[in-house]
Amino acid sequence: MRVAEVMTQDVRLIEPHQTIRDAARLMAEMDAGLMPVREGDRLVGMITDRDIAVRAVAQDRGPDTPVREVMTDEVLYCYEDDDTAAVERNMAEIQVRRLPVLNRDKRLVGIISLGDLAMSDQAAKVGAAVAGISQPGGQHSQTGGPRH
């Protein structure tokens, strides 16, 4: 199965100069825990509800803090024509629950999450991805690696 068959296509973006309040409101509107961050036509980062909680609120940063100060600027992604089994393995290895999906022109076309994969006919394989993602630490851990 290909990523394009299970990904979420309705993706909103935020810009680095916008506030974490803006990001939180958009996430609430969309019932999403992650937003891609764009500058011009480039994807420059990702911000999650966890980034807001751990990198902002827990550090006494106010709601007017710019997204760029708490976002992860390393953008990990997959392609819409990638095989979902390979993406699941990759998500487990790099310990992430969601990835932006790009087309081969490197334009954002969606987001794929463990939830999307679980809703597909490959739900049994998602368990292995969750097990890998749930291991403590990892480079994208809020406490177990360098801040990006």
Main-chain dihedrals φ then ψ at residue 43, nearest 5 degrees? -85, 115
Nearest to 54, CA basis, from 141, 146, 128 = 141
**CATH top-level class for 3-133?**
alpha beta
Distance CA 66, CA 134 (A): 29
pLDDT tens string 39-54: 988 899 999 999 999 9
C-alpha–C-alpha distance, residues 96 and 74, integer Å: 12
68-119 pLDDT, tens per residue?
A: 999 999 999 999 999 999 999 999 899 898 999 999 999 999 999 988 888 8
Element holding 125 (H helix, E strand): helix 123-133
DSSP state of 112: E
